[in-house]
Chain A
Amino acid sequence: MGTISRKPYRKQNNFFCRFLASETWPLAAVVGGLLLAWPLCFPKADLYYQVLGMACFYGVLAMAWNILALAGGISLGHSAFFGLGAYGSGLLAHYQGWSPAVTIPLGAMVGAGYGVLWGIFFQRLRGVYFGLATLAAVEIPRVIIDNWGSFTYGSLGLVGIPGLPDLRLGAVEISLGASLRALYYFLLALMCLAGALHFWVMHSRWGWGLRAIRENEAAAAMLGVNVRRSFFLALLLSSFLAGLCGGLYAHLLGLIEPALVFSLHLSALPLVLSIFGGRFHFLGPLLGALLLYPLDQLVLQPYLPMGHAAIYGVVIIATIFFWPRGLTTCLSKRRRSV
């Protein structure tokens, strides 16, 4: 038996050191390299640019969802943040004529504002009750927007939302509206940024606290984790990112309607992608999106145009049965969370 030592701690908080020390950085590097390089070999693959670009986009949404799930908050209502982000950004662009570079972050803040309300009203709810409350909470903004026709155009939807602006990198001008390849790279860069944020959250002190809350809230509190603050911050970041996705979506599509952006499908999709990929690993939601979405769009939809969405249900059941911790279980030597 030893004694309790009181040595000073050697801090090793460097983000890159941690990333390189993680088990999966080679895989992350290979996936990133492939995603970066393949368009150079296939310059005219517009369909693939679009599908993989949207896979990156949904990867960001899945990671947004997973930040809250890391603390045990299984949300069934992330489309509320997505929809509010979309309408926030779309309406600002429509009425004020502001650039999407301004309206998208503002739309994300509208989503985060609704996240604050969740944080206040749902702070004591956990588990099934939290899930049900989030599911119900989508209806509030949806019904308001649906019925406030004079401002939001109601169920007719908001059309004519301006597309993403051109980007200027030094002398190079990139047209996100005209080039699907440029748009793909833009969405890939966004996914990489979100992936880095997701990695940081999972491996930070705060992320450890979130994991502790997920596993046993009372024990976490007794070890010094500020449960309310940690959970609230996770909700805030998650809702902001989901709102950012919503704002981006409005400008990508150019039109939005309540039934589209507040749909159950958009609430379920990040959950399915995260569970399929593995929600305890920073690459899980991202891999889920990069594998499942292209599979759905390129393989299942052409052959099963009416019922391809049902495949998501089958996938989730199969994942729960065979890989309850998701595909990334195979990546972890110890078959547990990283």
Chain B
Amino acid sequence: MLEQAPPVCLELHRVSMSFGGQPVLKDINLVVREGEIVGLIGPNGAGKTMLFNLIAGVYHASQGSIRYRGQETTRWPPHRLCHAGLARTFQVPRPFPEMTALENVLLGLMFGKIDGPAADAAKEQAGELLALVGLDHKTDTPAGKLTLSEQRRLEVARALATRPHLLLLDEIAAGLSPQAVGQVARLVKKLHRQGINLMIIDHFLNLTLKVCHRLVALDEGEIIMAGEPGQVIRHPEVVAAYLGTRE
């Protein structure tokens, strides 16, 4: 008897995006199933972050459709997607610099769902989330004064505060030491065990190979390979995209 595939969480069908006639994403077809961790890899300028921007509603696709949990979300604004359970972090962290780390997370708790609580009712949970990412000792530090690595972790806590079903992590491991990457990998696996689906952009493959069930390789706005991580990184087109070809 055939094993039934888990339900689809996110589906992109023939999604294209162009700016001023210049295509940046071409005909992207992608499915993320419930319970999956999917990695997006590719060289600089491949279109990974743009794909996240389309999924998260920052930009709207020029063509094609995006369905999230069975609903057509191609033209949904970011706040509506957030309320539907989709959260993301940014490649360059975007904390609220004047607010403390705790207040940054509180905002996620207050607004992540339509009937979110007031700040004073959510402080305990915000503290728990900061502890989850190892920032419990920085609760009252203004986010603008945190290090880059701490700001990245704060972004994760803030995104988790919205109680996401699908979490998009953009270059969360960039610039981290191997030890720190190991910590991030453990955190990702923990989130996955708690029922959160994840998509991870990882330029240098140091995190995705540790945690992802599937990799999707992009180059020049197109998917060049998708499948098991081991297969994808050995595929000649992926190797060529990263290292170039011999003349």
Contact = CB atoms under 8 A, between A and B. Distances in A.
Interface stretch (A1-9, A40-48, A233-241): A1-9
Given A212-B107, A222-B82, A224-B83, A4 B160 contact: yes
Interface residues of B, number: 50
Interface in B125-150: 125, 128-129, 131-132, 134, 140, 142
A223 B162 contact: yes
17 contacts: A3-B190, A7-B125, A10-B121, A205-B118, A208-B111, A209-B107, A209-B110, A215-B96, A215-B98, A216-B96, A219-B94, A222-B82, A223-B107, A223-B108, A224-B108, A226-B79, A336-B99
B125 A5 contact: yes
Given A205-B110, A224-B82, A4 B194 contact: yes
B226 to A, nearest CB: 26
Contact of B78 (A4, A222, A280): A222
Interface in B148-174: 158-163
Given A11-B117, A11-B121, A211 B83 contact: no
Contacts of A219: 90, 94-96, 158
A21 interface: yes
Contact of A223 (B114, B118, B158): B158
Nearest 4 A-B pairs (CB), nearest first? A224-B111, A9-B117, A215-B96, A224-B82
B92 to A, nearest CB: 11
Given A208-B119, A215-B98, 18 more contacts: A4-B128, A4-B129, A9-B122, A208-B106, A211-B96, A212-B96, A216-B95, A216-B97, A218-B58, A218-B78, A219-B95, A220-B107, A221-B79, A223-B111, A223-B162, A224-B108, A224-B113, A336-B99
B203 interface: no
A216 B117 contact: no
B163 to A, nearest CB: 8
B227 interface: no
B116 interface: yes
Contacts of A212: 96, 107, 111
Nearest to B97: A215
Contacts of A211: 96, 99
B83 to A, nearest CB: 6
B58 A223 contact: no
Interface of B: 56, 58, 77-79, 82-83, 87-88, 90, 94-100, 106-108, 110-114, 116-122, 124-125, 128-129, 131-132, 134, 140, 142, 158-163, 187, 190, 194
Max chain A C-beta neighbours (<10 A), residue from B94, B140, B158: B94
Nearest to B109: A9
Contacts, number: 126
Interface residues of A, number: 36
Given A216-B96, A336-B98, A9 B121 contact: yes
Contacts of B132: 1-4
A247 to B, nearest CB: 34
Nearest to A18: B120
A334 interface: yes
A176 interface: no
A205 B113 CA distance: 12
A216 B97 CA distance: 9
Given A222-B82, A224-B83, A225-B111, A205 B116 contact: yes
A223 B82 contact: yes
A30 B204 CA distance: 60
B136 to A, nearest CB: 9
A222 B131 contact: no
Nearest to B168: A222
Contacts of B187: 1
Contacts of A205: 110-111, 116, 118-119
A180 B245 CA distance: 87
Contact of A208 (B77, B107, B121, B194): B107
Contact of B99 (A7, A12, A218, A337): A337
Max chain B C-beta neighbours (<10 A), residue from A4, A6, A224: A224
Contacts of A10: 117, 121
B153 to A, nearest CB: 12
A222 B120 contact: no
A13 interface: yes
A10 B123 CA distance: 11
A192 interface: no
Contacts of B118: 11-13, 204-205
Contacts of A6: 163
B121 A224 contact: no
A132 interface: no
Contacts of B94: 216, 218-219
A315 interface: no
B37 to A, nearest CB: 17
A289 B67 CA distance: 53
Nearest to B122: A9
A329 B117 CA distance: 28
Given A9-B122, A222-B82, A334 B128 contact: no
Contacts of B190: 1, 3
B86 to A, nearest CB: 9
A208 B134 CA distance: 25
A3 B112 contact: no
Contacts of B58: 218, 221-222
